[in-house]
Structure formats: C-alpha cells, structure tokens
Structure 1
C-alpha cells in the first residue's frame, strides 16, 4: 500500500522504515527540513539500533521524506506520529496533533477517493473521535465514516529495541469504527502478521485502543515502582533484593520482566503517560491513588541514592562522576533521565560533576552545558571522589582496575551492574 507518516521522531521514523521493509511505499511528512534531508540521504535522524540500516536500505526507493503535505494525496492511509508532550498539570499538549489534523484535512479536501487516518501518537481516550476526526472534517469539508475513516493503532516500542519491537510484536492493536477501516488496517498489517509469525491481533474500538496504550504503560511503570518499594524494604532488613525479586519473577502470575529494581523509570513514555492518565482520571473526578503512589516511589529513588552519597561526605567541592546519562541503555534519549535529577542535586550541593555516556553526551549537554564530560568511563573516574551509576550500560559492568584511579573510591550503584570488589566503598541503591 501507499502510506504517509506525519512526524519523523522516534515513532514516525521507526514505523516508516519498518513499513518500507515490509514492502509498503512510504512517505514521511515533516516540517523539519534537516530531518527530511537526512532521511532522503539514507540516515536516521535518531540513534536507534537497526534503524539506520533500514533507512539506508529503503531511502530513495520505498521510503522518502518531504515537507509537502500534498504527498499525502498519492497515499491510501496516513499515520499521525507526532509528539504529545506534557502540560504543567500532566495533561497532554495536543498542539502538534491539532495542527497536523488541520493541514491533513486541507490536503484531503483535494482528494476524490476515501482515505484512512490512523492515530499512532499516544492520546487519552476519546481524542481521536472527539478532537482529531472533527478537526479533519472541518478543514476538509468531508465526513468521517463516509469520505474518510479514522482509526487508532497504539505503538508499544521501547527505545533501544524499537525496530525489533515493531517487527516482532507481542500484539497488534487495531481500533476502528467501520469494517472498511478494519479491512484497510488488515491490509496494512498483513505483511507484519505473516513475518512475525501470526502475533495476536486485537480489534477493538478507537477509545479502547487509546486506553490500552495507557493501561499498558501504567501497569509496567507500577510494576517497576512496586519492585523498587519491595527492594527498599529489603535493604532496610539487610535482605538481598535481587534474590527476592528473581524468585517472585518465577511465579507465572508475576513474571520476571520489569522487576529490575534500581533508580527508577524515565524516558519519553512512562513519565508522560502516567502523568497524562492521572490527569485524565482527575478530570473525570476519579483519584488514581495507586498510579500516583507509583510516581511518588519513582521520584524518591534518586533522592535515596543521593542520601547514600551524603552519608559518606558532603558533596561540596568533591568531584563526582555520573556514569550513564541516557534514561536507559541502547538510546541517546535523556528525556526524564534519572541522571538529570542527580546532576541537578549535585550542582546545588556544590559538587564538581563529570558525566559520561556512550551516546547521550550531546543531548545532555543541552541541559548542562557547563559540567565536564568525559570521553570514556575510565576518564570520568580519574580523580573522582565518587561515582554514581545511573544507567546500566554493559561497559560499566566491565569496569574494574579503572576504579583505582579514583580518590575516595566511593561507588553508589543505581542499577546494580558494577561488581563489588576490594578497595571500593561500594553500595547498591537496592
């Protein structure tokens, strides 16, 4: 099929490249000319394992990019893959989505045949039906369900494994209002279903599909926070939390995924999505106490890590290495990274901070242009009084003799990845 994707961020670029790899002809529409030029030159605008190879393989053939909305006229379906950032109250900002819906509607006014519009961005229930659809109707003069259809196809992509997650999904969720929309969605996803070995396909309503995305992330965020809460209790009793969590993960009702206790969750999805669904619930008069507790536990983990450091010494005037700046390994994304909270506090306390990350240094430099950045973990440790491990990159597990270059040799491990050894004042957060 001929597909158009509006937006070329993590989701838009990934699904465009993957759809092209599945045999569809795809055009990315974006307002950023640099991103458009990068895609057309065969380079992904983001760091994501496997994505550069797909973009390079299909650019100029089944994948192209443009700033011109008229390219949509030659396509059968359009996916809206735009950011929905948080407002101050936690609700989502639909500014980019509304603007795109208006531009899309103005373009569809020129189109004679029907068109399918699929929301891919994470939006609260009723958004596609009550906001996106009517906005396209107003701009196009066409009617939903007659001259164009709307649908929702939530994404379940993890940064660092987004390509694999798309091409080998646990499930595919298709929300629509009409048989015509379902038929087009089936045609779009048929190559993926065949390649992935017939994963479950959930067909549901549009608002149900929107809610499935939030429920998915809310459950996982809560599971991590519960694991951290239990691990914090274990630490108070001198109990090995890793052994406890490994054991309960063997229970088929619980499962081992997302039981890794530590510094907590960050990134672009969990913080934004939990805040959004909490705000949405409150807007309807319901107080989601358990979800709020999950957020509260998550916010406390960096504070607990800093307290462990302050038990050793006052950070003022001390050189502290922060190892890992991205919110998780495998990505250069620093949005809501736990390292940001750590660095903020260290700077407020008068510490001399040096940061290191294999790929995320430049993105963190935007937040902290005046701290030192090392080119390797070993360099970051030289003359450091303490090291705080914020991200579980594999290379940190291999550190050993490099710790000998530290002054006071204090290591606080927020991800339980460094091996305890003689000569280190080592403590795991949990």
Structure 2
C-alpha cells in the first residue's frame, strides 16, 4: 500500500468514526442538522419580502430584513410595510442586536434613507447569529427574534474525540520565512578524479568497464611506454565508480586527456539555482530542507558555498548543500527541491497551517465554543508549513480546530448550510 492510499484510508476511517460516534451519542448529528438546517430550510420556512429578504410581521405592520452585499462591505437594509404596502421609513425607528457564538453582541441603529432604513455598521463574517429586532412606529412597538446560522455545527465531546479532533488557542508564534529552490544532485568536486597514464604509450589492456566499481590502488589498465617499450600499471587514485571511459586497448594515451574518470557516489551535494531576485537573501550557513521530486526522500543540510553558474549571462548563482548518502537514494543527476530558511520573526497572532480549510470564497478555521464549532473567516499574512499569520477575523485566545478540521467541514457540508438572509 502506498503512502497516498494509506492517507485516503485513514481519512475515510476518521469520517466513519465520526459518523458512528454522532449516531451513538444520541443527537449530536441531529442538533447539527437543525442548527444549519434552519438556515437551509429557512428559504422555505420563512416568508420573503419583495427584496427577497426575511419578512417579519406584527399585525398590519411588517419589516423586511436584508443584507446588502453589492458594496465593499455587507450592510443591513430594512424595508417597512403597512398592509403590505411600502411605508415611509421616516415613520419607523429600528434596532438590531446580533448575538454571536462566544458570546459577542453586535448592535445596529438605523436611519431612513431612500425607501429603506440603513445602518453604517458592517455585518461582519460569519453571518451566523441569534437575531433580535426592535421596531417602533409611533406608540406601537414590535419585537422579533430568530436564528440565522451558517458554518456552524454541534458535535459532542465523545464524537469529536472519536473523530480525532484536536484544538489549540490562537496566539503569537515564531514564523520561519523560507524560499523554495530547485536543483539537482551532483558529486562533490572532491569525489571525482581523472585517471591519466604517467607516460605516453599504447594501452595494452584494461580491467574495468564503464560503471565498474573500483577501490583505491586497484589496477585499471596496463600501458606500454612509447619511449622505453616497458609496460607499466595504471591504478585508481580513489575508490568509486567509473563514470567516463575515453580509451580502449590498442589506443595511444598520454596526450593530456584522461583515460578514465572515477566518481565516489557516497560523496554528494545538491546544487540549487539562485535567481537574482532571491540571491541577495540566501547566505552560507542557512539551513535547507531537501526533498526528492517524488517527495519520498528527505534530507537536511546547510549551504556550504555559493558560486557563480556556468552561464554568466543568466546572473544565476549556485548554492551547494552537502547531501548525506542515505544508502544510495540520492543519485547524481536527479532533480531535487529545497526550501531555505532565510529569516524568522514573531507575529502576534497565528494559527497552525494544517487547521486551515476552504469555506465559500474564504480560508477559515473552525472556532470551538463548548460543543459548538463555527467558521471564522481569516485575513492571512505570511505562511509556513507549520504556522500562518492571522491579520484579521480571529480574536486572540480563540480555541480552534487543528487536527480533524476537514471532519468538521464535512459535517457542516452534510448539514446543507447556506449563506441565506
């Protein structure tokens, strides 16, 4: 079984465990469906007004609640009616209180504008709250309350534990800033040696072939000197593998070109290409995490040298990082990926990157209050594999889901939540 198959099976098992636990706990799943189903079913359960908003009635007076989302920020607009006919908004005073999970209360006061009542207060995400509406028309008073939830579910502690859900508190973190690199595996300069004949002459015999393994001092060829006609042995200067063979028996050698080239495959480094935009941030001594192209093999090292590339016109530099042998998993010529740590700094608010999930057009985490979980739409900054900086959308100290966040998302998706007002 490969790694990806194992992950799929693990995810499936976790979802199954969560579903069984919800059923066994006697109501956790049903509560989640009602909480979110109230939003989805609301389209059929509550009356809508001419502007497709929720229509609240009190005798012959009614008030249509809408959220106007065509501008830069979502805003409430209230349309009053008397006997189902538009009423001058100047005759109505209204307030709304939104009690959010936490709890936190957002309050809105309204003033007449055109044919509706408007409030400057932004209806911040998520649009998930208990709503209390108060309206006054002369001496008449009307009050309404209702629930408008999205991205929310209720899961018992036992069910969450069975599903592998874990949480953490949002707070400060140290983010290591990194840059992605690409390169290839090469033999180190010290791992390569050319084999030359000491005296010009004819190659009498060769005992090795391309790819043969040799040890230091091993006889690799015999050459007959052109001057003395004496035959002498040529030996390997290092241990390794024959990587190039330039002569065969009968050939004349000693003209300056090597007879053979030997490379030691246990002495490797990774050569990473640094483009001008990144080169100024990369230094000798910085740590690099190295990954094979398949992602199956990993190693860690430090930059030991930064040198110009062979192509002077490209202005590309090459960073050399020592690579452990690791039983031969790294081979010269193979492509590798790297990530170099170029800096680090503390940010006041961050979440663990693995807790991030997509929700509509947002990236979110799931806040936890008691046994209730709800989306928090985030404004994000810098990101690493471990931590992501949060610039807005989450209060410090909020408990949020780290492991098992996709299970919470699946339960919310299953309940049929909608963004409906």
What's the TM-score bracket when you normalise by the shorter of the two chains? under 0.3
TM-score between both structures, scaled by the size of structure 1: 0.24
TM-score between both structures, scaled by the size of structure 2: 0.25
Bigger Cα Rg = 2
Flag the structure with higher helix content.
1
Higher relative contact order (CA 8 A, sep 6+): 2
